[in-house]
Amino acid sequence: MRKHWIDNLRWVTVLLVLFYHVIYFYNNKGVFGGIGGFGDGPQYQDVVMYILYPWFMPILFILAGISARYALEKHSAGEWFKARTRKLLVPGTIGLLVFHWMVGYFNTAVAARDGALDGMPGVAKYLMWALSGTGPLWFIQVLWLLCIVLLIVRALDRKDRFWNWCGKAGIVPIILLGVLFWAGEQTMIKNPRPESIDGLLNLYKPIFYLVPFLLGWFVFSHDEVQEKVAKVWIPLMACAVISGGILIGTTFGQDNTTPQYLGSPLNCLYGWLMCLAMMGWFKAKFDRTGPFATYMSRSSFGLYIVHYLVIAAFGYMLKMYTQLPPLAIYAILTVAVFTLSPLLYEVLHRIPVVRWCVFGEK
């Protein structure tokens, strides 16, 4: 039987990613990327980043780990990895050259306005735009690498002894797994060196994201564990809200993506409790489907793939070529990303070659 709560939590999280990027694009907290804020004063709308960033990507990796367990119960390792390669690696590499170079164009538009790209050959610009267009695709690139790691781990636990042992965990040990969440954050490079790959490693965080991915595989793929989390979702959510409120109240204004911030015990506590609370809430209340949920479950991956072009293009033009007040800019960009992203996906995934290159669809 299909776990509808997993599908629903995944597409809801993707929609939160879309809204997060609207806020992130204009942040003035020093977070890498985007186009900058509307002055140096407080931007209280940036609180959205503090609320979402600690947990919404980790929970996607947890769900990916759970889904991998279910998929490998039905398919051979070779079939599964071939499908994962088409779905993840193809869009994360070939898709850059076919589609995401346009995202890279807008990502580098500010530098181009300063003449930084003057005299650069067209082919070099195109390749630079393709690389700069990676944007949110880091998620599927990391996920593909973790799939390789998973096949190795699966071979080591061929008889599922460790998996079976993990299924016996009670709610207290499950909560205490947050220590692993904290330990994963400590693998970030605390003082990244300029002009090195340190910043890239801190962005991708492959070791950190391996933790929730394997927890999904070993722990949360058990029906018993899912039921235990669902029974206590209300106190988990209450604790998450309290810890999150303290975190935001004491750190608002800081760059919430630095290794020091992400590795703080309070950030890790909030992030982990939110992961548990959201899984428990959706398991308890949203383990069902309907026409809209079915459509979103099918298309959320495509929306994730294409949405940032809408944000980069419209967000750039609204900031650079209009005199609209910030509230109007946020409103227009929000409407644009939630209406044009589905339209763009529906058009592109109907074009045979393009759908393979951009979405990994047959």
The domain total for the chain is 1
Cβ atoms of 137 and 102 closer than 8 Å: no
- What would the pLDDT profile of 54-101 be if each residue is shown by its tens digit? 999 999 999 999 999 999 999 999 999 999 999 999 999 999 999 999
The Cα 117–Cα 108 span in angstroms is 9
The closest alpha carbon to 99, from 49, 69, 134, belongs to 134
Cβ atoms of 297 and 289 closer than 8 Å: yes
Residue 254 backbone phi and psi in degrees, to 5: -80, 160
Q: How confident is the model at residue 113 (pLDDT cuts 50, 70, 90)?
A: low
The Cα 50–Cα 257 span in angstroms is 9
The closest alpha carbon to 45, from 312, 337, 330, belongs to 330
The Cα 66–Cα 251 span in angstroms is 33
Helix (H) or strand (E) holding 151: helix 138-156
The Cα 356–Cα 358 span in angstroms is 6
Q: How confident is the model at residue 362 (pLDDT cuts 50, 70, 90)?
A: confident
The arithmetic mean of pLDDT across residues 222-227, rounded, is 98
The Cα 145–Cα 147 span in angstroms is 5
Q: What is the mean pLDDT of the chain?
A: 94
Q: Under the phi-then-psi rule, with left for phi > 0, alpha for psi from -120 to 50, and beta for the rest, what region is 2? A: beta
Structural domain for 215, as ranges: 4-359
Judged against a pLDDT cut of 70, whether residue 299 lies above it is answered with: yes
Judged against a pLDDT cut of 80, whether residue 112 lies above it is answered with: no
pTM of the model: 0.96
Q: How confident is the model at residue 109 (pLDDT cuts 50, 70, 90)?
A: confident
